A and B are shown apart, each in its own frame.
Chain A
Amino acid sequence: GEDVEQSLFLSVREGDSSVINCTYTDSSSTYLYWYKQEPGAGLQLLTYIFSNMDMKQDQRLTVLLNKKDKHLSLRIADTQTGDSAIYFCAERGDSGTYKYIFGTGTRLKVLA
């Protein structure tokens, strides 16, 4: 079956790096995503990675994909208080109805 797992909480100090981890089960997933939900807002796409890539970097964000272990991570460098939010990992296949399978979300708290 399809399942995406994440730890529920992460707390870091401002300026440190944050690493949010995710494991998924569907090996046929072609795209994996990170969405961010700030308080009182809807989810917003942060970044995504195609399954034939190992790494994707975008400014302070680095996404690592280990396809063998079905493990995805999001690293935020120089974490700021504005990064405090819930981060959702999601997978998606490239056939059928293309529905997203989301994880539980990791609540990141950045301490000043």
Chain B
Amino acid sequence: EAGVTQFPSHSVIEKGQTVTLRCDPISGHDNLYWYRRVMGKEIKFLLHFVKESKQDESGMPNNRFLAERTGGTYSTLKVQPAELEDSGVYFCASSFLAGPPGELFFGEGSRLTVL
């Protein structure tokens, strides 16, 4: 069974440009999460989808970030325009159950570098 896949694995862009990150969750997992880790800091929650609906987007930093999950399958996270502080590793995770203990299955992450 395929795990959570993320694309691209690494993206280097200039400040002001746009980047779109993609996540394909494990098939059948209705719950999809985006997290971000800035170097040396904690992994911070961005948002949670249940199927195609945004269950919780309280962690989205500002309106330069847009997440979508059309059809309840894969998800995209767009950053437009990118700023220097957006650099970090963006993790996607999926789970079958939303409630605890509810193991999260993580992708390998997409590293974003904004110059």
Q: Which residues of B contact A31 (CB under 8 A)?
A: 100-101
Distance to closest chain B CB from A49 (angstroms)? 9
Distance to closest chain B CB from A46 (angstroms)? 10
| Nearest opposing residue in chain B for A49, CB measure | B101
**Size of the chain B interface, CB-CB below 8 angstroms:** 29
Are A42 and B99 in contact, with the CB atoms below 8 A?
A: no
Residue B48 at the chain A interface, CB threshold 8 Å: yes
Are B104 and A94 in contact, with the CB atoms below 8 A?
A: no
Are B91 and A98 in contact, with the CB atoms below 8 A?
A: no
Q: Which residues of A contact B85 (CB under 8 A)?
A: none
Q: Hey, which bits of chain A sit against chain B, CB under 8 A?
A: 4, 8, 30-31, 33, 35, 40-45, 48, 50, 88, 92-94, 96-105
What are 6 residue pairs bridging A and B, where the CB atoms are less than 8 Å apart in the complex?
A97-B48, A97-B55, A100-B33, A100-B35, A102-B43, A104-B40
